[in-house]
Amino acid sequence: MAIYTEEEARKILEKALSFSKADACEINLGGTNSGNIRYARNTVSTAGHQSSQSLVVQSSFGKKVGTATIDEFDDASLEKVVRRAEELANLSPENPEFMPPLSPQVYDESITYVEATANTTPEFRAEVASKSIVPAAAKDVTAAGFLNDGARFSAMINSNGLFAYNKSTNMDFTVTMRTNDGTGSGWVTRDYNDITKFDAAEASKVAIDKAVMSREAKAIEPGKYTVILEPAAASDLLGNMFRSFNARSADEGRSFMSAKDGGNKLGQKIVDERVNIWSDPLHPDVPTSTWNGEGMPLKKTKWIENGVVKNLAYDRYWAEQKGVDPVPFPSNGIMEGGDESLEDMIAGTKKGILVTRFWYIRSVDPQTLLYTGLTRDGTFYIENGKIKHPIKNFRFNESPIIMLNNLESLGKQVRVDGNLIPYMKIRDFTFTSLSDAV
């Protein structure tokens, strides 16, 4: 399937809207082309290509709403799907939280599409696998990896005159390297909008080196340690923390962000004053679409400034209830970093632990944002400014709020999973038990 241009998408959407007889109508159109390769045991296990497209019509009569979907876009199909949405709306109970379609909005031009990524070939993917497998085998290491790349477009129109369009490309790569004696494991992740920035050999080498370095890990006692968290480790905990940046659940009293006397923690200082986190769809390293699925413009938004909560996300219904402007949920997260390199951070650590990543993170207590999980694929003991030896994996029980209050220093930022996260040094990070897992 082709990735439709703005004009092609507009033509289909205008045609579909012309069939609407409802009080209000909103139509989303999207499509994706993606390819992947998966390898394990130093050989390719599966490879595939998926393409799909769909058009979703939401029709409403008053507060009665119906939705219908179709993947064929000839005139008869478009009329059929609009009629079906209207039939469903007529049969539905009223949704008291229904919000009428937005009026036309002004969007920034996005920087999310890179032609080279859209043109990725099966041969390129096989070469990526080979760049992992060949050097791994040479070091008595076994590679298991996954590359997924694709292009997508999305467009929307509504009966209030709004139109929006975006196209984007993306690639995600992860590889786990395990030493053949089963005592060492390393891992790396890379993701970009522009696949030409991706160096499979460099990434694979990082994971191979970690696997070899992490062999024959020693057990040390669980307890509170200073940790240096690589960006991939911190990213998952921060992502979990951001799920509570929702004004409604905070106002309802069922969130970490609920204030004790009612209301929410907007304006309260919750973490160290050096913590600054914002979202920005136009950041060149982590660009995203400049509008969300209901057509709200996405702009640079501060979430935590100098440790203080600056914004919580308000959907349109809750914003109206509270008499404030809606604040869309962020499409990426950018945390301010510092100048220190990883080497500097290690050199400045008397006693600590370097963490490559965390695994199987689960909420333990939503009240305090306490999470548990384990270290994985490269955990090292630091003493007197040097990596001394690999250590066995730990289970942690920690809250990202406590973690960001115990901030020692910030290092340079790295893109992880569409976000920009710095290396962080944290004191008194709580490890509660040892794991034998490699």
Contacts to another protein from residues 191-250, by CB under 8 A: 235-236, 238-239, 242-243, 246, 249
The yes or no reply on residue 419 touching another protein (CB under 8 A) is: yes
The yes or no reply on residue 50 touching another protein (CB under 8 A) is: yes
Element (H, E) at 438: none
266 vs 305: CA distance, rounded Å? 11
- Binders of another protein in range 53-92 (CB under 8 A): 54, 56, 67-71, 84, 87-88, 91-92
Q: Write down the least CB distance from residue 211 to another protein, Å.
A: 11
252: phi then psi, degrees, rounded to nearest 5? -75, -10
Q: Write down the least CB distance from residue 156 to another protein, Å.
A: 16
Q: Kindly write down the DSSP assignment for every residue of 260-328, as one continuous string.
A: TTSSB-TT-B-S-TT--EEE-TT-TTS---SB-TT-PBP--EEEEETTEE---BB-HHHHHHHTS--BP
Q: Write down the least CB distance from residue 325 to another protein, Å.
A: 21
Q: Write down the least CB distance from residue 5 to another protein, Å.
A: 24
- Binders of another protein in range 383-402 (CB under 8 A): 393, 395, 397, 399, 401-402
Element (H, E) at 119: none
- DSSP percent split of the chain into helix, strand, coil, nearest 5: 25, 40, 35
Choices 12-20, 225-233, 346-354, 412-420; region in contact with another protein by CB under 8 A: 412-420
Closest CA to 423 of 405, 406, 407: 407
Binding mask 366-385 for another protein (x = CB under 8 A): xxxxx-xxx-x---------
**In terms of CB distance, is 186 or 346 closer to another protein?**
186
The yes or no reply on residue 356 touching another protein (CB under 8 A) is: no
- Binders of another protein in range 273-332 (CB under 8 A): 330-332
Total chain residues near another protein (CB under 8 A):
97
Q: Write down the least CB distance from residue 385 to another protein, Å.
A: 30
In sequence order, what are the residues at sequence separation of 6 or more whose Cβ sits closer than 8 angstroms to the Cβ of residue 433?
222, 394, 395
Q: Write down the least CB distance from residue 165 to another protein, Å.
A: 20
**In terms of CB distance, is 3 or 136 closer to another protein?**
136
Q: Is 71 helix (H, G, I), strand (E, B) or coil?
A: coil
